[in-house]
Amino acid sequence: MASGDVFESQTKSLAVPRVNLLTMFRLGLFQMGLSMMSILTLGVLNRVMIQEIAIPATLVAVVLALPLFVAPSRIWFGQISDAKPLWGYHRTVYVWVGAAIFAIAAFLAVQVMWQMNIAASSVGGWTWTVQTIGWTALLALIFAVYGLGICASGTAFAALLVDISEEDNRSKVVGVVWSMLMLGIIVGAIISSSLLKQLTPEATVETLQAGINRLFTIVPAIVFGLAILATFGVEKKYSLYSSRSTLLNREDSITLGNAWKILTASPQTGLFFTFLVVMTLCLFMQDPVLEPYAGQVFGMPLAESTKLNVYYGIGLLIAYSVTGFLIVPRLGKRRTTRLGCMLVAFCALLLGISGFTANAAFLKLGLVLFGLATGFLTTGAISLMLDLTAAEAAGTFIGAWGLAQSISRGIAVVIGGTVLDIGRRLLPSLELAYGLVFALEALGMVVSIWFLNRVNVTEFQTNTKQAIASVLESDLD
């Protein structure tokens, strides 16, 4: 019997129950927490730094993208969680430690932001001085640490989903868990709006600072608690690979070098990686500009623009609730993903057109539809991603897919802010400047379909299985 077959037979022999619906919802609490943190960083900080403090949008975009640019660490965190249990767990403790790091870093980032405001105000507005450069560098460092915490916890969590699921129920796991992520967007937006509702456009800096400090104290603490509640006991009870480090002396055999060999064994890995990069790039290009768009084009105050995420989240929540259970089983993962790409392109154009109406209701409707389209796309793409993940090196593959998504999302944030700055300089109106960002999103989404059409799951699984068997057999010799 080949060593790959030995591993498969040993893991299948583990007596573990099948993950139930209640546990899926509990796991979703972690994704709910992550989306709440995203609302804080992109939904609040970018608006405050661009509009209230008047920091250049490109600089804000670069700083906020730094957590995504540390994504290469995901492959390392994934391989480490595969091979090195922490306090007896391959996934759970990595999730907890990472959550603690990003929760603390988020609070510290806000304190540095206020120091940047003081430094800018002392010279009559934003300009490059020794003080502003120093505080900007410190903020960048804190956001990089924040990103490392996200990478450690997010990679281990996604690998845990592979460990506890099987091919026939993965779309359901994705549907439930990512529905909770969208619920987090809604809850985070409501909490943020509630805590910031007293902040009118005429509010003083002191009032603004007190409200945002309270927000960044309460929400990170909630998020850390959700991370513990979501994952406590799940790995031990449900993981098919909870004894992975004892199987075939796995801790010594699947090294980082061997994991890389497995990761690169199939050209399909590169194709799907490229699809994820292009798709994610186009899906999140509007992230750094949406709230400023609402403020500058539609005249919305801070609390109201933050609440826009509720409309986006409603669309996502509806899509996630039905796609994993109804759409994917009928259309298949690839066709669902392709349909999602086309719908996202259409809705991005719709968001751009809404600016010319100056009608907030049109913008909100566009965001609901954009959320629906995004839900179709991400459910199909994530389900496909889990199929393109070898269980024996789940952390490494999840790290690679997370790298593709994070790096491209970081680039998307930078491109979104940069294109907005370019548009504001070259185009005659704010509506056209913001519309340029949405039009570029739609174009790129069409391009991503070309790569998706060339992905072959069967070829990937065949090549990867052979590579795993070869690696394990060579280590046994």
User: Once rounded to an integer, what is the mean pLDDT over residues 81-86?
Assistant: 80
Give the residue with greater pLDDT, 93 vs 20: 93
Above pLDDT 90, what percent of the chain?
19
Q: What is the rounded CA–CA span in Å between residue 379 and residue 319?
A: 8
Lowest-confidence region among 147-151, 294-298, 449-453: 294-298
Tell me: pLDDT of 244 over 50: no
Q: What are phi and psi of 124, to 5 degrees?
A: 80, 15
Tell me: pLDDT of 21 over 50: yes
User: Once rounded to an integer, what is the mean pLDDT over residues 190-200?
Assistant: 66
Tell me: pLDDT of 8 over 50: no
User: Once rounded to an integer, what is the mean pLDDT over residues 358-378?
Assistant: 90
Tell me: pLDDT of 10 over 60: no
User: Once rounded to an integer, what is the mean pLDDT over residues 191-198?
Assistant: 68
Tell me: pLDDT of 278 over 60: yes
Lowest-confidence region among 41-45, 189-193, 195-199: 195-199
CA dist 160 → 26, 92, 236, 468 (Å):
13, 8, 11, 20
The chain-wide mean pLDDT, for the chain, equals 79
pLDDT attached to residue 84: 81
Give the residue with greater pLDDT, 136 vs 237: 136
pLDDT attached to residue 138: 93
Tell me: pLDDT of 263 over 70: no
Burial letters 263-299, b for 16+ CB under 10 A, else e: bebbebbebbbbbbbbbbbbbbbbbbbbbbbbbbbbe
pLDDT band at 105 (very low <50, low <70, confident <90, very high): very high
The DSSP call for residue 360 is H
Neighbours of 204 (CB within 10 A): 9
pLDDT band at 9 (very low <50, low <70, confident <90, very high): very low
Give the residue with greater pLDDT, 305 vs 226: 226
Tell me: pLDDT of 74 over 60: yes
pLDDT attached to residue 380: 87
User: Once rounded to an integer, what is the mean pLDDT over residues 259-265?
Assistant: 66
CA dist 404 → 17, 262, 274, 385, 448 (Å):
32, 17, 8, 11, 13
Under DSSP, is residue 89 helix (H, G, I), strand (E, B) or coil? strand
Neighbours of 20 (CB within 10 A): 10
pLDDT tens digit sequence for 156-175? 888 888 787 776 666 777 77
Q: What is the rounded CA–CA span in Å between residue 477 and residue 468?
A: 14
pLDDT attached to residue 249: 42
* Residues with Cβ within 8 Å of residue 355, at least 6 apart in sequence: 293, 297, 298, 363, 430, 431, 434, 435
Q: Which value, in Å, is the radius of gyration of the alpha carbons in the chain?
A: 22
CB 176 within 8 A of CB 24: yes
H helix runs in 39-166, sequence order:
46-47, 57-69, 73-83, 92-121, 130-164
List residues bridging with 89 in a β-sheet: 86
Tell me: pLDDT of 150 over 50: yes
Tell me: pLDDT of 207 over 80: no
Give the residue with greater pLDDT, 298 vs 265: 298
pLDDT attached to residue 328: 81
* Residues with Cβ within 8 Å of residue 470, at least 6 apart in sequence: none
Lowest-confidence region among 284-288, 299-303, 365-369, 379-383: 299-303
Give the residue with greater pLDDT, 191 vs 272: 272
pLDDT band at 200 (very low <50, low <70, confident <90, very high): low
For residue 467, which amino acid is it?
A: A
Give the residue with greater pLDDT, 304 vs 7: 304
Tell me: pLDDT of 477 over 60: no
pLDDT tens digit sequence for 392-424? 666 777 777 777 777 787 788 788 888 888 998
Q: Residue 429 has which token pair? A: 């109106």
Tell me: pLDDT of 257 over 70: no
pLDDT band at 340 (very low <50, low <70, confident <90, very high): very high
CB 416 within 8 A of CB 287: yes
User: Once rounded to an integer, what is the mean pLDDT over residues 458-468?
Assistant: 75
* Residues with Cβ within 8 Å of residue 195, at least 6 apart in sequence: 211, 214, 215, 218
Q: Which residue has the tokens 């509990």?
A: 26
Tell me: pLDDT of 369 over 90: yes
Give the residue with greater pLDDT, 183 vs 369: 369
Neighbours of 128 (CB within 10 A): 10
The DSSP string of 258-289 is: HHHHHHTS-HHHHHHHHHHHHHHHHHSTTTTT
pLDDT band at 386 (very low <50, low <70, confident <90, very high): confident
pLDDT band at 252 (very low <50, low <70, confident <90, very high): very low
Neighbours of 146 (CB within 10 A): 23
User: Once rounded to an integer, what is the mean pLDDT over residues 444-457?
Assistant: 89
Tell me: pLDDT of 361 over 50: yes
Under DSSP, is residue 220 helix (H, G, I), strand (E, B) or coil? helix
Give the residue with greater pLDDT, 9 vs 33: 33
User: Once rounded to an integer, what is the mean pLDDT over residues 11-25?
Assistant: 65
pLDDT band at 6 (very low <50, low <70, confident <90, very high): very low
